[in-house]
């Protein structure tokens, strides 16, 4: 991907195009984010810097697929988990509801998979209190 703007345009086509060939092309070009673990840091970059909800959705759904399909190291899962808690606390209320729902699903999946691996995953309610207090 040459630039974030190009990625955002591809994401727009992926989620909104009426042309199935155009959607398939966008899906093929963006597939690397959900299958290659080397793209996890780029997904976090997208979450931090993208301006469109479709790019945020791509990053979130790609991370969800990565977490579900790969046995990621405990430290990496904890890093993503902590990042998501902070991200949702800081930006959650300003996000589109479908992006927030996807990020919460990712957070829950990480918590579920890490529940018995590290006690820090069990602090989900305490750690998410910043996010929860901003929503109400």
Kindly report, residue by residue over 47-62, the tens digit of the pLDDT: 999 999 999 999 999 9
CA 133/CA 31 separation, integer angstroms = 35
Q: Taking 80 as the threshold, does the pLDDT of residue 128 lie above it? A: no
Answering whether pTM is above 0.75, one says: yes
User: How many residues would you count in the chain?
Assistant: 136
Of the chain, the percentage scoring pLDDT greater than 70 comes to 93
pLDDT at 31: 94
CA terminus-to-terminus distance, the chain: 38
HSE-CB of 32 using CA atoms within 13 angstroms: 8
pLDDT at 104: 94
Mean pLDDT computed over every residue of the chain: 90
State which H helix or E strand residue 2 sits in.
Answer: none
Q: Taking 70 as the threshold, does the pLDDT of residue 32 lie above it? A: yes
Q: Taking 80 as the threshold, does the pLDDT of residue 1 lie above it? A: no
Burial class (CB in 10 A: 0-12, 13-18, 19+), 62: buried
Q: Is residue 116 helix, strand or coil?
A: coil
């Amino acid at each position: 991907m040459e630039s974030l703007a190009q990625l955002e345009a591809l994401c727009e086509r992926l989620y909104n195009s009426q042309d199935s060939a155009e959607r398939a092309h966008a899906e093929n070009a963006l597939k690397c984010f959900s299958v290659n673990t080397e793209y996890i840091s780029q997904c976090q970059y997208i979450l931090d810097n993208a301006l469109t909800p479709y790019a945020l959705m791509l990053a979130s759904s790609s991370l969800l697929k990565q977490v579900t399909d790969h046995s990621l190291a405990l430290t990496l899962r904890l890093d993503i988990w902590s990042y998501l808690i902070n991200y949702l606390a800081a930006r959650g209320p300003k996000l589109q509801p479908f992006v927030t729902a996807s990020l919460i699903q990712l957070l829950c999946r990480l918590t579920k998979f890490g529940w018995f691996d590290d006690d820090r995953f069990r602090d989900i309610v305490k750690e998410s209190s910043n996010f929860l207090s901003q929503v109400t």
